Structure 1
Amino acid sequence: MFRFLLCLLIAAGFSQAIQAQAPLSPPEKCATMFMDSSLRAKYPQLGTLNDFERQLQLKMIDIKKRMASSRQTTTVITIPIIVHVVHNGEAVGVGRNISAAQVQSQLITLNEDYRRKPGTRGFNENPVGADIEIEFCLATIDRQGNTMAEPGIDRYNGNRANWTINDIDGVLKPSTYWDPDKYYNVWVVDINDPTVNGQLLGYAQFPSQSNLPGIPANGPASTDGVAIYYRAFGNAEKGTFPVLQAPYNLGRTLTHETGHWLGLRHIWGDANCGDDFCADTPPQASASSGCPVGRISCGSTNMVQNYMDYSNDACTNIFTQNQKARIRAVMEISPRRNTLLSSNVCGTLVASRPVSNFQANTRRVLLGGQVRFTDISSGFPTKWEWTFEGGTPSTSTEQNPVVTYNQPGKFTVTLVTSNALGQSDPLVRTQYIEVLNQGLCADVTNFSGTRTVIPEPGGRGYLAGQNSKRTQAVSEYFDNSLSYSNLSGASLRFGVAKAAQGAATESVVTVTVWNGRGFQGGPGAILGQKDVPLRVILDDVTNNRPTTVTFDRNVPLFGLPYHIGVTLPYAAGDTVALVTSKNGESLFATAWRQNQRGDWLRYADSLGINVAHDVAGRIGMKPSVQVAASSLFINPGEVVTLNASGASIFSWSGTGLSSALGAQVIAQPTRTTSYTVSGSGVDLCTAQATIQVYVRSGTVTANNPQVEPALTVTPNPSEGQMVVSFSSPLKGALTLAVRNVNGVEVVRQSYQKTGDTFEQQLNLHSAAGGIYFVEIRIGEQVFRKRVVKN
């Protein structure tokens, strides 16, 4: 849905003094994809860019058909703008506190570009250019329904000279934004961020996708809009504005960023000869700079005059017909874009009798679930009267109430709003909310049929396990049609488990949860993992019972599809295989496997076999108690750290514990021991979890120290602050790194190890919650430890 587009980066060393009027350095490459990935990692419920593209392309096809048959609506869309002028106490019209005339010059330019009107020097007259049929107006009515003294301008003293990107999105925007359902928010601010080598001309946030779950209140809704560097906002040809600097002084930065805000991609597709999903923009190898008219790359003449390239302001002069179709599609399908059309804040009336309107974050809810209703009424109501059939509460006078539904059925919602000028007509939406007869905690499986273990066709081994074709992993797909938010555990039935003769007793099988955003719905990124000792699976197979797993933390599902399965290491001759249904007993092609090349394939597509794995997930809309240990296997006398999560109060049972209470305890078992933790203080799906710590045979004394290298990270899981300890006789240059599940390095530090032990504090507070791998590299040897950041 959303994405941040950090565009037109200015090279390091550019003077920040207002009186220094040297031209801006050429722009650096935009950090678009990096920031988009960061945003989607923080809010996975946004879906992927592909999710957004699929729906957008379908709507574009419809719009193009209407345009071709002359049935396309020609009504000009008007979007209201509120410009937040962020200053440091300067007088109006001085420095960062730009004048109303400079704001007006920018608005005129924006309308020239989106309506294909000739500008001061004949801009926008490209013969293949499109009139987007969108105009922008400065809001004349504020959030309270009052007439604004300066139309469209909200002056804000930020009490600082400049702002980093993190501070803009984390502090400035959330504290100053106006309702994005009614206003297009534009922040004009002195952006100076060392992570992008200094000044940044601007960045925008992509529109949201209408069929995805609601956005957190403090998430993208409070950052929706565009931030523009104050020295690139306005048009120097429409007045005297000393702060503006060439070659970005003609107002095209806001035209470019508004294009992103309306769903346009960079014309080069952010890749060498990439795709911007508009067929009438020729492919090009990279961003342009200056005005290289006639530039040829990717086998065609580049459209360097397009507003979505990086050419100088004086060069750009065109949007295309496909870009128009894309923008118009966004205005139809994106929630916070289409509601702008009825906001009526550019009119001359301060208020009128309200017209009631609302939206819900979901219209299908589980039994006992909650729905958040958002008022989007026009006319600036001051009073709200809601009626919720089947809901608790059944009535409300809040503007944006949250309602719980405890009985199944389809229910009506009614809203009446009023202000000093009168009351609206009732808005009645019948059977608007559907409450499903399924609870907030559930077990889910696709398996139904005859339990069997199928041999690998044409080879040795098993279809759903280790085999001669070296299948790397197998998984079962779950569509999560009821939008459950988390997975606390799983149950997997193995039909085969063998340990190689003489193999170590510490072999493990890794149970893995992936999201369902891979190719054609296959496994994508890893959401959670848990190592299960092979000895446990051997015992479960012998006793004909499934193997149950409690994950280290509640695995976030975000209401989206996911996979549960196992990875299959080929070591020491160990063998495992999952139970499946018989071929043909499953009709939904939910079984997947990862071949030796790493490609994920459906069994039905690659083998012509339609089965389901005997796998179940414990899912919920409420948390469950989870438990993790710093080590599963220890020597006698060693200690292990146990961490619990999911509740607010924890009590423990088991021998050798440092305490019976708390989220983290230390255990020092003398033999293999099970530890159980019980949670309370919050509403839980599962209030208890158990973990077993295996104690090796033999003794460890001070005269017989452990000489094998050992890497530990405590606490694990943690909130981000942890200690890395590494014991080894190896000495010399040591590298400490942290990688995410995709192998991307997020931390890298260098040290000199001079003794047998190395210990270092590690801070991952700024990292998103999830699974990471701590890596110690010394000489040619590498040691890794999996950690969980809550």
Structure 2
Amino acid sequence: MKKVLFSAIAALLLFSCQNDQSESADSNLSAVAAHRGCASQEVLAAQLKADPTLAIRMNEIEAFTAKNLLTGRLVNGVIEIPVVVNVLYRTTAENISNTQIQSQIDVLNKDFNATNPDFANVPALFSGVKANVGIRFVLDQVIRKSTTKSSWGYNDAMKKVAQGGLAPTSPTTKLNMWSAVIGSGILGYAQFPGGAAATDGVVIDPKYFGLSGSANAPFNLGRTGTHEVGHWLNLRHIWGDATCGSDLVSDTPTHNEENYGAPAYPHYSTCSGTPVEMTMNYMDYVNDNAMYMFTNGQKSRIAAIFATGGPRAAFGI
């Protein structure tokens, strides 16, 4: 397992070295993605470029997180998070049902409380670090809006009324989720803690929102929501978005890069020490049926943002 140095200098390097990335539009918006695509890191890079003060705020969050991890000031019990779902639709299929929306809430509750049936599949090697994060999600309201847009991209247009979208509702005390066609092969994306309240939340394409049906396999089990909410809770991709990079968590193995599909266990890294990769972690890129665990280190990192003075402290301890 790798060691992570949580210091202001390390955090500054992390947030000052992001590269702005872009993707071309997907010409076939109706096709189901062949691989998981999460644009959270690309969105972060664009936000850092547009707002130099964001890097400062996120560096402060990293320093705060490190302090809370070291002193053990963590969340006690279960945090309850109200969820507002904003549905932007052009077609009947995009106007996802309340049942489908509730199925996503149910998946989040299982995955963040280790009651998902496949949690039992965690290999013995990782049994000592597998975690019950202890967060409860409650559907607060559903807001719907018809649109003429066939896709929204990942520049936060769906969150802006002036661009035809829906603004977030009480983003400091509620998790806002948008169901909107993103395009470019992107299943979803999230804003990390520290970003502007006006764009805070998680976006998921309606094809991958909750239990969306076998036609959308292998991303039809609601794990896109789990992955993106993980980002909203300050978790990084497990490979650190760099070859043999760091996700700032001490008990996850170093990965070469993202994994796709359903890798056979054990899957070895060629990074230092050739560790077995934790491909079943929710923060990798594997298929929905191949991801089923968080770690204690990830739980501690999440808990720190809810502590007094943390970026999501308004949700309460």
Name the TM-score, length of structure 1 as normaliser.
Answer: 0.34
Matched, 1:163 2:172: no
CA shift in 2, pair 1:38/1:334, >3 Å = farther
Map 1:87-236 → 2, pairs under 5 A: 87-88=89-90, 90=91, 94-119=92-117, 122-123=118-119, 126=122, 127=127, 128-139=129-140, 152-166=141-155, 167-170=157-160, 171=162, 175-192=166-183, 198-208=184-194, 220-236=196-212
CA shift in 2, pair 1:169/1:137, >3 Å = closer
| Partner Cα separation in structure 1 for residue 35 and residue 43 of structure 2 | 21
Please state how far the C-alpha of 1:185 moved relative to its aligned partner: 0.3
**Any stretches of 5+ residues in structure 1 without a counterpart?**
18-22, 67-71, 140-151, 193-197, 209-214, 343-790
1:123–1:317: 8 Å Cα contact kept in structure 2?
Answer: yes
Which amino acid counterpart does residue 188 of structure 2 have in structure 1? G
| Partner Cα separation in structure 1 for residue 247 and residue 149 of structure 2 | 38
2:44–2:192: 8 Å Cα contact kept in structure 1?
Answer: no
Aligned equivalent of 2:316: 341
Which amino acid counterpart does residue 281 of structure 1 have in structure 2? T
**Aligned sequence identity (%):** 35
| Partner Cα separation in structure 2 for residue 189 and residue 117 of structure 1 | 28
Matched, 1:77 2:79: yes
SS of 1:256's equivalent in the other structure is helix
Q: Could you give the per-residue CA deviations for residues 345-379 of structure 1, whole angstroms, max 9, x where no partner exists?
A: xxxxxxxxxxxxxxxxxxxxxxxxxxxxxxxxxxx
Matched, 1:47 2:55: yes
CA shift in 2, pair 1:82/1:173, >3 Å = farther
**Any stretches of 5+ residues in structure 2 without a counterpart?**
1-10
CA shift in 2, pair 1:284/1:87, >3 Å = same
Matched, 1:307 2:282: yes
Please state how far the C-alpha of 1:175 moved relative to its aligned partner: 4.1
Aligned equivalent of 1:16: 30
Aligned equivalent of 1:455: none
Q: Could you give the per-residue CA deviations for residues 424-472 of structure 1, whole angstroms, max 9, x where no partner exists?
A: xxxxxxxxxxxxxxxxxxxxxxxxxxxxxxxxxxxxxxxxxxxxxxxxx
| Partner Cα separation in structure 1 for residue 288 and residue 24 of structure 2 | 15
Map 1:57-68 → 2, pairs under 5 A: 57-63=66-72
Aligned equivalent of 1:38: 46
Matched, 1:327 2:313: no
2:43–2:154: 8 Å Cα contact kept in structure 1?
Answer: no
Please state how far the C-alpha of 1:332 moved relative to its aligned partner: 1.4
1:116–1:124: 8 Å Cα contact kept in structure 2?
Answer: no
CA shift in 2, pair 1:102/1:287, >3 Å = same
Of 37, 40, 65, 1:56 maps to 65
Which amino acid counterpart does residue 299 of structure 2 have in structure 1? K
1:288–1:304: 8 Å Cα contact kept in structure 2?
Answer: yes
| Partner Cα separation in structure 2 for residue 10 and residue 306 of structure 1 | 29
Please state how far the C-alpha of 1:172 moved relative to its aligned partner: 5.4
Aligned equivalent of 2:226: 255
1:11–1:27: 8 Å Cα contact kept in structure 2?
Answer: no
2:65–2:301: 8 Å Cα contact kept in structure 1?
Answer: yes
Q: Could you give the per-residue CA deviations for residues 699-726 of structure 1, whole angstroms, max 9, x where no partner exists?
A: xxxxxxxxxxxxxxxxxxxxxxxxxxxx
1:233–1:253: 8 Å Cα contact kept in structure 2?
Answer: yes
Map 1:259-298 → 2, pairs under 5 A: 259-292=230-263, 293-297=265-269, 298=271
Please state how far the C-alpha of 1:300 moved relative to its aligned partner: 0.7
| Partner Cα separation in structure 1 for residue 281 and residue 249 of structure 2 | 12
2:221–2:288: 8 Å Cα contact kept in structure 1?
Answer: yes
CA shift in 2, pair 1:85/1:105, >3 Å = same
Please state how far the C-alpha of 1:181 moved relative to its aligned partner: 1.9
Map 1:470-485 → 2, pairs under 5 A: none
2:39–2:188: 8 Å Cα contact kept in structure 1?
Answer: no
| Partner Cα separation in structure 1 for residue 26 and residue 187 of structure 2 | 13
CA shift in 2, pair 1:87/1:13, >3 Å = closer
- Which one has a larger percent strand, Structure 1 or Structure 2? 1
Aligned equivalent of 1:464: none
- Which one has a larger percent helix, Structure 1 or Structure 2? 2
| Corresponding pairs, count | 288
| Partner Cα separation in structure 2 for residue 47 and residue 125 of structure 1 | 38
CA shift in 2, pair 1:161/1:73, >3 Å = closer
CA shift in 2, pair 1:10/1:157, >3 Å = same
Which amino acid counterpart does residue 177 of structure 2 have in structure 1? V
CA shift in 2, pair 1:32/1:261, >3 Å = closer
Rg (Cα) greater in structure: 1
1:84–1:153: 8 Å Cα contact kept in structure 2?
Answer: yes
Name the TM-score, length of structure 2 as normaliser.
Answer: 0.81
Aligned equivalent of 2:4: none
1:77–1:135: 8 Å Cα contact kept in structure 2?
Answer: yes
SS of 1:155's equivalent in the other structure is strand
| Partner Cα separation in structure 1 for residue 291 and residue 207 of structure 2 | 18
SS of 2:216's equivalent in the other structure is coil
SS of 1:154's equivalent in the other structure is strand
Q: Could you give the per-residue CA deviations for residues 482-520 of structure 1, whole angstroms, max 9, x where no partner exists?
A: xxxxxxxxxxxxxxxxxxxxxxxxxxxxxxxxxxxxxxx
SS of 2:105's equivalent in the other structure is helix
Which amino acid counterpart does residue 60 of structure 1 have in structure 2? L
